[in-house]
Structure 1
Amino acid sequence: MNRCFIALGLITIWIVGLAGCGCEHKKEEVKMLQKLAISTETSLYPEAGFTKGVSGAFGGALGEWTIYGGGCNFPDKGPSEGGTKKYYRSVYGLRDGETSRIGELVAPIAYGTSIPSSDGKRLYFVGGSDGTKAYDTIHEVTAEGVKLLDTKLPTGWFEGSGAYSGDSLYLAGGWVADGVPMDSLVQVNIKTGEHHTLAALPDGARIQCVNFVLDGYFYIFGGHRPAVGLEQPPYMHEKAYRISIHAESPQWELVAERPTLENGRKLLFVGSTVAVEPTTKQVYVVGGVDWEVFEPAIMRGFNKAIATKEGNQALLDRYAEEGKAYMSMKEEDYHFMPHIIRFIPETNGWEIVATDNALATAGAVLAVSPEAATVIGGERKPGVRTFNAWRQIL
């Protein structure tokens, strides 16, 4: 087992708040964001390119361990320059200032979902894609290693989200194959492999939604519905719902019309990562794309398809230039969400726990313990990943 030491740097952040009529100032210490300087020693990472950072990786917390692995990136050059996306399979664990390779996935894959068991002693890495096919695999991960389970999903699946309750996984959103979305909530028993559909998803398919289970309810937030041919354009999901996973005839209940943070940011959750802390049952989310930037980008693809059918070269040229401009923007112009946020069950809303540009990622790993949240990797802009890791004291 390869090991290397991790240096830990601390960044203390302070804010100044206004009190009373604004004539008096009060200084308040915000809990620390710590940067984990992970070694890039090649002997630790058998897959070349991994240390350039990945997105769409698997990961989570297992006691004192932070687990991460798999994922994908463009190690040589970006997609706008004709770069090739590379997928990875190794899985690593971070603990006590050291990192170790603890196992590997069945294949180099990304864009699956990571789900902790109810007791927090196991992680399930579910589904994923290698760019050519969707995987129906379930990996069980402990601090001792990675095990491929005999239980399979009813179909390949990726870019969805899921949760664990009892002996079952609850999965929703995403794709079952390239261009074929999964538009239902599916229950899969880990022990027996039995599976069945609980309900169709509210308002149609959801790609890259955020899901979790609390108090017997399965919640679904955000995501986008892909275009249906040239008849129905892509749709950004505003409404959030929950459904009882124990009811004989479960029905979706609306819990939020338009989830919005206190700073006015609309929550789309595409590219966000969700994690449930097993002890406290607190739900956290980090990162994600910006609604106002993402919506016109995804609509451009739909409009381009229409222009192609109509043979409108002028429009095609315009969309091509807009696409180049989009891919060449600075990181800060994509406005990825720079927050860790926490779900408030009493109001079905979200509150900001931490804010820093370092958290402005898409497809990062989020591992949460009662004391801290660790964020590893992710995309900083289309085609550009980071290998940085951050630990936020909660």
Structure 2
Amino acid sequence: MKTIQCGVVLGLWLVLASCGGSTGGSRESVGLPDYPVPGGVSAPFAGMVGNYMVVGGGCNFPDVPAADGGVKRFYSSLYALDMARPDSGWRVLPDLPQALAYGATAETDEGLVCVGGMDADSAVTRAFLIESQPGPDSVAAWGFRDLPPLPVAIDNGAAASVDGVVYVTGGNQFDGGRALYALDLKSRVWTRLPDYPAPNRVQPVLLAAGGKLYLAGGFSYDPSTRTCTIPADMVPYDVATRQWGNPVPFPVAPDGGRYAISGGSGAVVGNCLLLTGGVDYKIFKEAMEGRAPADYMKKPIEWYRFNNEVLIYNTTRGDWSVSPSVEGLNRAGGVLLLDDSLLIMVCGEVKPGVRSSQIGAFEWRDTDGATSVVPVGKVYSSEQKEQI
């Protein structure tokens, strides 16, 4: 994965040094082509492998909408987009070993590690590596390598890598636990590490920076009390000492409410953690606890208030900044990627049950020593507008 040193609050004007370094100037960018699965998907595997953005799996409701009782479909299709030549379009790769969604992805030097998830029947322990090697005429040849399965099935979890070790945690774990698992890509052995602090975190974000993991957001639901708990914070884990630290609260929202990075996504830019997307705290909690209106699934997109603000944590200073609305980041189940000077939001839901095929690109701009981020291209594809 390519990274940049930058220090910005997206959509705001700040000095470049706030996160360390600079963007090195603006990059000419074009709108990226829509994802080739009609209607888009939610919760796919996605990441950068060299110059390629690789996306596969995920799920949607291709026939009858979810609001009308439709059946969810899981996909095994896999695609790659050459970010050096995005106009060349998506390249069809061999299908995933099975149709999966709600798995966890980690970018590594060996390729894209995909772990867990679920198919149409149940959660899985499967783990595999998507890799590319130079082929004839310098055309990349793609393949899979099986990795040792997870010790327990995990869906809706999160993954990150540090120095050749892939860490997986959160989500629905088969034993109901809160374990952190580590896979050393050299020894190919899984190790169970200390559990993260309560409560459980389903659909969290896991980021790695400065020798630490940061487990952010997520939610848990207790069916016996019909109570939904949404942690408005993140918990650091020190890779060297193997200890979890104290929770770091999210900033307070402008309206005095809380942020819910549940179903959200994130990226690391220099020494800053970027968290965005996901559901609205109050609306989601009420729905999970059975207090939503009868027409909950049929409200307009704006009603659900999916998060399009960006929470930025400076790991050096230990403080937060919040960017106001960045159009196109309001996705649940999308994946935020970083490629050179571009942030990329891959698919996801625009409202419960309705996916987007858009691959949203956001470019860094430097004007008179100040930086901002603006969307590149459209916000919704024409196909998605018709569905909505």
Bin the TM-score by the shorter chain: 0.7 to 0.9
- Alignment counterpart, residue 66 of structure 2, candidates 53, 72, 79: 79
Structure 2 match to 1:134:
123
Structure 2 match to 1:27:
none
* Alpha-carbon distance in 1 for matches of 2:49, 2:255: 33
- Alignment counterpart, residue 242 of structure 1, candidates 236, 246, 258: 236
SS state at 2:91 partner: strand
* Alpha-carbon distance in 2 for matches of 1:210, 1:174: 10
* Alpha-carbon distance in 2 for matches of 1:353, 1:242: 22
Q: Is the 8 A contact 2:66 2:354 kept in 1?
A: no
Pair 1:125-2:125 in alignment: no
Structure 2 match to 1:159:
156
Q: 1:255: Cα distance to partner?
A: 4.5
Q: 1:362: Cα distance to partner?
A: 0.7
Pair 1:366-2:362 in alignment: no
Structure 1 match to 2:285:
295
- Alignment counterpart, residue 391 of structure 1, candidates 350, 361, 367: 361
Q: Is the 8 A contact 2:128 2:147 kept in 1?
A: no
Q: 1:292: Cα distance to partner?
A: 1.5
Distance verdict in 2 for CA 1:145–1:274, change over 3 Å: farther
Q: Is the 8 A contact 2:57 2:77 kept in 1?
A: yes
Q: Is the 8 A contact 2:104 2:168 kept in 1?
A: no
Q: 1:368: Cα distance to partner?
A: 0.6
- Once the two structures are superposed, the pairs formed by residues 159-178 of structure 1 within 5 Å of their partners are 159-177=156-174
Distance verdict in 2 for CA 1:80–1:129, change over 3 Å: same
* Alpha-carbon distance in 2 for matches of 1:39, 1:169: 27
SS state at 1:246 partner: coil
Greater Cα shift, 85-94 or 208-217: 208-217
Pair 1:233-2:203 in alignment: no
- Alignment counterpart, residue 33 of structure 2, candidates 31, 37, 52: 37
Q: 1:262: Cα distance to partner?
A: 6.9
Distance verdict in 2 for CA 1:174–1:66, change over 3 Å: same
* Alpha-carbon distance in 2 for matches of 1:129, 1:94: 25
Q: 1:332: Cα distance to partner?
A: 0.8
Distance verdict in 2 for CA 1:218–1:196, change over 3 Å: same
Q: Is the 8 A contact 2:280 2:306 kept in 1?
A: yes
Q: Is the 8 A contact 1:223 1:237 kept in 2?
A: yes
Structure 2 match to 1:148:
145
What is the CA deviation profile of residues 176-227 of structure 1, one whole-angstrom value per residue up to 9, with x for unaligned ones?
A: 34xx533122222233332232212212311111112222222111111221
- For structure 1, the 5+ residue unaligned runs are 1-14, 18-29, 41-49, 301-318
Q: Is the 8 A contact 1:287 1:359 kept in 2?
A: yes
Q: Is the 8 A contact 1:260 1:350 kept in 2?
A: no
Distance verdict in 2 for CA 1:140–1:343, change over 3 Å: farther
Pair 1:254-2:241 in alignment: no
Structure 1 match to 2:94:
103
Counterpart residue identity of residue 338, structure 1: N
Distance verdict in 2 for CA 1:270–1:348, change over 3 Å: farther
Percentage of identical aligned residues = 25
Structure 2 match to 1:267:
259
Q: 1:36: Cα distance to partner?
A: 2.2
* Alpha-carbon distance in 2 for matches of 1:145, 1:281: 32
What is the CA deviation profile of residues 328-354 of structure 1, one whole-angstrom value per residue up to 9, with x for unaligned ones?
A: 111111111124554321344444568
Pair 1:343-2:313 in alignment: yes
Counterpart residue identity of residue 292, structure 1: K
Distance verdict in 2 for CA 1:222–1:365, change over 3 Å: closer
Distance verdict in 2 for CA 1:265–1:358, change over 3 Å: farther
Counterpart residue identity of residue 258, structure 2: K
- Alignment counterpart, residue 224 of structure 1, candidates 209, 216, 219: 219
Counterpart residue identity of residue 139, structure 1: F
Q: Is the 8 A contact 1:268 1:289 kept in 2?
A: yes
Q: 1:392: Cα distance to partner?
A: 0.8
* Alpha-carbon distance in 1 for matches of 2:153, 2:328: 33
Q: 1:363: Cα distance to partner?
A: 0.8
- Once the two structures are superposed, the pairs formed by residues 4-19 of structure 1 within 5 Å of their partners are none
Counterpart residue identity of residue 81, structure 1: D
Distance verdict in 2 for CA 1:79–1:100, change over 3 Å: same
TM-score normalized by the length of structure 1: 0.76
Distance verdict in 2 for CA 1:64–1:167, change over 3 Å: closer
What is the CA deviation profile of residues 121-168 of structure 1, one whole-angstrom value per residue up to 9, with x for unaligned ones?
A: 622111110131112222212343241323221122110112112332
Q: Is the 8 A contact 1:32 1:392 kept in 2?
A: no
Q: 1:33: Cα distance to partner?
A: 8.3
Counterpart residue identity of residue 368, structure 1: L
- Once the two structures are superposed, the pairs formed by residues 301-316 of structure 1 within 5 Å of their partners are none
Larger radius of gyration between Structure 1 and Structure 2: 1
SS state at 2:215 partner: strand
Distance verdict in 2 for CA 1:39–1:365, change over 3 Å: closer
Counterpart residue identity of residue 272, structure 1: G
- For structure 2, the 5+ residue unaligned runs are 1-10, 14-25, 133-140, 365-388
> Number of residue pairs matched?
330
* Alpha-carbon distance in 2 for matches of 1:168, 1:365: 21
Distance verdict in 2 for CA 1:264–1:368, change over 3 Å: farther
RMSD across aligned positions (CA): 2.8
Q: Is the 8 A contact 1:93 1:100 kept in 2?
A: yes
